Each structure stands twice: as structure tokens, then as C-alpha cells.
Amino acid sequence: NAPKTAAALAKAGVPFAFASGTLEDPRDFIKNAAKAVQSGLSGDDAVRALTLQAATIAGAADRVGSLEVGKLANVLVTDGDLFAEKTTVKHVFVEGRAVNLDVDWGNQRRRQ
């Protein structure tokens, strides 16, 4: 029932965000959010939970969470709907700088 919880929270107007702290594989982060979308959460609410709502809950909305002048420019560019199974990430920018997607970040994390 966990994937259904996000939709229930959104419907009730309860602020929530997705967390990645216990994931073994960072690639599961978006897959898990997609499960919430498949279980009734709107795509807009899911994106908000990944961005501005997460930043607000963390007390960092003045620096991250939305694209605005004066905030860090962290952006993910995909070739389709972020939550669709076949969508791939094309570009990632952290603080406005492109990230090399040729690095297997999942393996990098496990090696540390």
C-alpha cells in the first residue's frame, strides 16, 4: 500500500516529499516515485514532491526546489514523461553545470 500513500496525502492537502536515504540503488528513486503515480498520484504532485515540496520540508526552498533567479540551477532533462518506464535521462545539471552521464553513479556509490 505504500505507493498509494502519496496520493492520499496529496488529496488531503498534507505536505510530503520523497526520500532516497535507504535506497541501495539511486536509480530506484524515480522508479519508486513512478509507482506512486501509477497508484493515483498526479504527475504534477509527484514532481512537486521531488522538488519544491522536498526543499520546503528540508528548509532549503530559498536555495533549491524551483527554477528562480538566485537559486541553484539543478535540472534533469528527459526524453519523455519522467515517470514513464521507457523514459531516459538525457542531461543533468547541478548548480548550472552539466554532469557527465557516462559515469555509472550507482557503482560509484557502492565503491565508496
pLDDT at 19: 87
Average pLDDT over the chain, rounded to whole?
89
Q: pTM to 2 decimals?
A: 0.81
Q: Can you tell me which residue has the cell 519544491?
A: 52
pLDDT at 107: 57
CA dihedral angle for residue 58, residue 8, residue 42, residue 76, rounded to 10 degrees: 20
pLDDT at 108: 53
Model confidence at 105, pLDDT cuts 50, 70, 90, reads low
pLDDT at 20: 85
Q: What is the pLDDT of residues 15-52, one digit of tens each?
A: 999 988 888 887 788 899 999 999 999 999 999 999 99
pLDDT at 75: 93
pLDDT at 106: 58
